[in-house]
Structure 1
Amino acid sequence: MSKVLENLEPKSVFSFFEDLTQIPRCSGNEKKISDYLVEFAKKRSLEVIQDKALNVIIKKPGTKGYENAPTVILQGHMDMVCEKNKDTDHDFSFEPLKLRIEDDMIKATGTTLGADNGIAVAYALAILDSDEIPHPPLEVLITAEEETGMGGANNLDHDNLKGKILINIDSEEEGTLLVSCAGGIRNIISIPIEWDNPSGDLLTYELRIRGLKGGHSGMEINKERGNSNIILGRILQGISINNDLYLAKISGGAKMNAIPRESDATLLVNSKDKTKIEEEIREWNKIIGNELKTADSDFRIEFEQSNGKYEKTFSKETMRKLLVALTLIPNGVQTMSVEIEGLVQSSTNLGVLTTTEESVLLECAIRSSVKTLKLDIVRKMGVLANLIGANSESEGDYPAWEYRKDSYIREVFVDCYKKIYGKGPIITAIHAGLECGLFDEKFDDLDMISLGPNMYDVHTPNEHVSISSTKRVWEYILKVLKSIK
């Protein structure tokens, strides 16, 4: 059976990448992809370690003339964010991704692509598979569960690695070398639900937020894209002021680290207020559409009467508390760096909104390159929760990666870039969590850098990666490896 990417160059990289897209690898479901990597190594008689967290380390000696060169750790993560459009019928637990090529881009149909971070894994496998690429001794580290809290990196036994140089291939802008990243933590506010049994002439309506772009909650938090959970709360707050309505269910977003694109609420509306609420919804559509006309030009509100029957709804007090939380919760850019122009220093993202039988959960991803600012946002979440009689808990704390003044690997990358392009690369920090922060904490004196090809709209069903950029970055990495002796 022919492959969609079989005619692309470099053939080995895109062949391995397409193989990866056929294997289930959502965060928390990495057993099959981890076993695939182990089998890959065994077939090539390479030393391989698979730990309890499903991290995989594959070791390969240096090629002729590189036997005594410093060991280099090539690093990426095996898992992906599994997002799909509402109208896409796809089961990530067993169905392969449906790839397509559009001009210079590779996309998946209706789902995330997993180029974040499948491209890194494909690069590493292509290097390990080759007998012709000159390179120093390699330790390829492919971690698990990066996208949902860096569980693999957190549970990594550093004694299994000897290298002092680490090349992380988990960034998304060609020509940019990352030398520092933000730390982060997850926060969940849980609002207890008191249920009520409303009476009267009530009509059921579905209120839906659609058409937003979403995006990576670190990389794209500064693009002022709409957060569907925040927008839904704003609309509910507005229409509840002068109308008699009840909230039966609310939900939005799928991943804490993705800016939510779609949110839903089920409302019971007094029939006498039907016309007035419909008019207010049309007005909100105009207001928010105008505010987002540049960042999210396809934004729309859907408000439709349904045949659903609900015997119970949130009590008025529970709805009030929820709307207070959605109105006051910190969201978006919180502080900007004064040291690096244009760099977001601290941010939050209300990524997931869920209704259970007992409570409404507001799940946020908090990021900051300054630990005390990160903890201050957590404190604000706690104050808000206390204000409305809710509970606030944090988990998955990971550290920032601080800039290293003297770096051998940075010098090698800069020198190679200048030789290829006649100019230097951009060297900067990123407002996103990289596993480099945890490695910096676990390993003594680890010299690190991060890079990657051009990727767009990661963590969304519109995720795509540039074919030509993937090829150029591949050639760049090979030149760097050849230069380390």
Structure 2
Amino acid sequence: MTNILKDLQPQSVLNYFEQISQIPRGSGNEKAISDFLCNFAKELNLEYIQDEHLNIIIKKPATKGYENCPGIILQGHMDMVCEKNKSSNHDFLKDPIQLRIDGDMIYATDTTLGADDGIAVAYAMAILADDSVKHPALEVLITSDEEAGMTGAKGLNTNQLNGKYLINIDSEEEGYILVGCAGGNRNCVTLPLEFTTSDKQGMLIELKGLLGGHSGSEIDKNHANSNKLMGRILNLLDVNFDLVSVNGGLKQNAIPRECDAVVAVDKNDLDKFKAQISNIQKVFNHEYKDSDPNIEIVVSETSYNNVLTDDTKDKVIKMLNLITNGIQTMCADIPGLVESSTNIGVVKTTDNTMTFESATRSSVGTRREDINSKIKLLAECLNANYEETDPYPEWERVSDSKLEQISIDVYKKLTGEIPKIITIHAGLECGLFLQKMEGCEAISIGPNTYDAHTPNEHISISSIQNVWKYLLVLLESMNQY
């Protein structure tokens, strides 16, 4: 291990963060990190449970004087979104994350950092390892596969937990206490492909330079979606061309930053084609001059085997342009909060199909159903298959929550300021747990984290320290209520 973070505070937290950064832990590849947490619990002689979904529960008895306090569940997830720059050779199945420090920020090198939600794992490990921390009966719950569908949380047997207060550490703004979130699901439209031959010149269109971002918490930043922009490019082209393939994005819950299309252009139209691409880039650069100032479209010659039939090409272009995307509704009662959205995160061409994968969110279940129905109707119009998967419930704020009031009081005493109490448009696992754990209350907190789900993801060192202090005081104050 390189020990890049060894001189930073809080040292114990950042030491554990650097340790888990050495372990590949993309969604669906969590066996190593799950076993690592088991071994950690064994070394501390703590009771632990590893279930069939690789979820981990580690239990630590109450400190003396805290035996009669409501039990605390500290919760986060072990997996991370695996995004990287196109130029990177990083292999998320085997390579450690390469950490680097820039001022007050920790970054990875050309990849996602995994602070979402590795910082929760690090906080929990540091608390479990430190016998000087005062706390009620503690249950650390680290779930698997949160980023790809919350399957760990869905499969968790909550009868193994006794805590009354759940503190989720998966939010990204210091000074904010989250008390609700949107529900969501995944959609996949599968379009059968038909091919023919062509003698036109193969051309690769590379759309890049977009900023991307978290498709929930950053959907309101108006960042361009590379898959939607590629649809516009193909629709705007006024030359004789055939379409070979479209591939863009890596994760449904990340706003896609890059998209490639292979087309075959009549050789007599090549100059016109290049001129049109140049004009389209100018349009995009103007439209997104503030939110995505570095959009770039690069064209180059390439080879291909077959092209899509005209009918199939027409369906692909219609799908990319007409599929619902972005903010759909805003909350009427909470100014500035997105109520409903959808993100076409992945477009993928295989030997005989093209898939269009979206993540849909809403804090109102019927709004989400309406978005899903529109995508389904479009699929049916284009003779494509529609599949809906990985639903998770919204988390509705509980009125008169004692945990919420304790968290506000402690924050005020510690900082002299009043925290902001909010609900968010991103999905958190709290809704799933509260649905299964009657009488349990929850909040979500976390340090300042930026550009999650992108290779520019970074986290504030000073904010990690501030939230660490708050978390310790919050636990230590529980015997006062």
Count residues in correspondence: 479
> Paired residue for 1:247?
243
| CA distance in structure 1 between the partners assigned to 2:88 and 2:318 by the alignment | 33
Q: Work out whether 1:333 is the aligned partner of 2:327.
A: yes
Deviations 1:213-246 (A, max 9, x none): 000000100110000000001001110xx31111
SS of the residue corresponding to residue 198 of structure 1 reads coil
Within 5 Å, which residues of 2 pair with 1:41-52? 41-52=41-52
Say if 2:465 is the partner of 1:465. no
Aligned counterpart, 1:432? 426
> Counterpart in 2 of 1:276?
272
Q: Distance in 1 between matches of 2:279 and 2:313?
A: 22
Q: Any idea what SS the aligned residue of 2:426 has?
A: strand
**Is 2:224 aligned against 1:226?**
yes
- Bigger shift: residues 105-114 or 2-11: 2-11
The reply to whether residue 400 of structure 1 matches residue 398 of structure 2 is no
What per-residue deviation string (whole Å, max 9, x for no partner) do you get for residues 362-384 of structure 1? 00000000000101111001110
Distance in 2 between residues matched to 1:259 and 1:113, nearest whole Å: 17
Partner of 1:289: 285
Task: Give the secondary structure class of the aligned counterpart of 2:182.
Answer: strand
The runs of at least 4 consecutive aligned structure 1 residues that moved more than 4 Å come to none
User: In structure 2, what is the Cα distance between the partners aligned to 1:244 and 1:191?
Assistant: 23
Aligned pairs for 1:42-81 (under 5 A) are 42-81=42-81
Aligned-residue offset at 1:18: 0.2
**Residue 126 (1) aligns with residue 122 (2):** no
After superposition, the C-alpha distances for 1:162-203 in whole angstroms (9 at most, x for unaligned) are 11110000000000010000000100011110111123xx21
Separation in 1, partners of 2:15, 2:407: 26
Paired AA for residue 228 in structure 2: I
TM-superposed CA distance for 1:304, in Å, is 1.5
- Give the distance between the partners of 1:14 and 1:208, measured in 2 at CA: 38
Whether 2:363 is the aligned partner of 1:369: answer yes
CA distance in 2 between counterparts of 1:339 and 1:208 reads 42
CA distance in 1, matches of 2:2, 2:206: 41
C-alpha separation in 2, matches of 1:20 and 1:259:
26
Deviations 1:262-305 (A, max 9, x none): 00001111101111111100000000110000000111111122
Aligned-partner SS, 2:351: coil
Q: Matches of 1:177 and 1:256 in 2, distance apart?
A: 26
How far did residue 128 of structure 1 move? 0.1
Q: Find out whether 1:478 has 2:472 as its counterpart.
A: yes
Match of 2:185 in 1: 185
Q: Secondary structure at the match of 1:397?
A: strand
Amino acid at match of 1:140: V
Give 5+ residue unaligned stretches, structure 2.
none
Aligned to 1:207: 205
- SS where residue 432 of structure 1 aligns? coil
Residue deviations 1:143-180 (CA, integer Å, cap 9, x gap):
00000000100000011001111000000000001000
What is the SS of the residue equivalent to 1:433? coil
Alignment partner of 1:311: what SS? coil
Distance 1:20 1:278 in 2: 47
Q: Aligned equivalents of 2:6 and 2:113: distance in 1?
A: 17
Within 2, Cα distance between the matches of 1:60 and 1:39? 15
AA at the equivalent of 1:209: L
Q: Distance in 1 between matches of 2:349 and 2:437?
A: 41
Residue identity opposite 2:448 in structure 1? N
Residue identity opposite 2:367 in structure 1: L
Q: Give the partner amino acid of 1:291.
A: E
Q: Secondary structure at the match of 2:409?
A: helix
- Residue equivalent to 2:167: 167
Cα separation, 1, equivalents of 2:202 and 2:476 = 66
Structure 1 counterpart of 2:284, which letter? I
Q: How far apart, in 2, do the equivalents of 1:463 and 1:61 lie?
A: 35
> Which residue of the partner structure matches residue 409 of structure 1?
403
Task: Decide whether aligned partners of structure 1 residues 360 and 256 sit closer, same or farther in structure 2, where only a CA change above 3 A counts.
Answer: same
Q: 334, 337, 345: which one pairs with 1:343? A: 337
Deviations 1:392-421 (A, max 9, x none): 110001100001011111111100111122
Task: Tell me the CA shift for residue 311 of structure 1.
Answer: 2.7
Q: Which of residues 290, 294, 300 in structure 1 aligns to 2:296?
A: 300
Question: 2:124 corresponds to which letter in structure 1?
Answer: A
Name 2:116's counterpart in structure 1.
116
Whether 2:379 is the aligned partner of 1:381: answer no
Question: What letter matches 2:211 in structure 1?
Answer: K
- Distance in structure 2 (CA, Å) of the matches to 1:165 and 1:420: 20
SS of match in other structure, 1:280:
helix
Distance 1:311 1:419 in 2: 68
Letter in 1 for 2:453: H
Task: Give SS of 1:153's match.
Answer: helix
What TM-score results when the alignment is normalised by the length of structure 2?
Answer: 0.99
1:68 Cα deviation after fit: 2.0
Shift of 1:2: 5.0
1:357 aligns to what SS in structure 2?
coil
Displacement of 1:31 after TM fit?
A: 0.1
Q: Percent of aligned pairs with the same residue?
A: 52
TM-score (norm 1): 0.98
Partner in structure 2 of residue 13 of structure 1: 13
Distance between the aligned counterparts of 1:470 and 1:141, measured in 2? 20
Give me the whole-angstrom Cα distance separating, in 2, the residues matched to 1:339 and 1:124. 35
Letter of the structure 2 residue corresponding to residue 284 of structure 1: I
The DSSP-based 3-state class of the residue aligned with 2:236 is helix
Label 1:2 to 1:356 Cα distance change in 2 as closer, same or farther (>3 A): closer
SS at match of 2:344: strand
Q: Which residue of 2 aligns with 1:236?
A: 234
CA deviation vs aligned residue, 1:443-477 (integer Å, no higher than 9, x gap): 11210000100000000000000000000000001
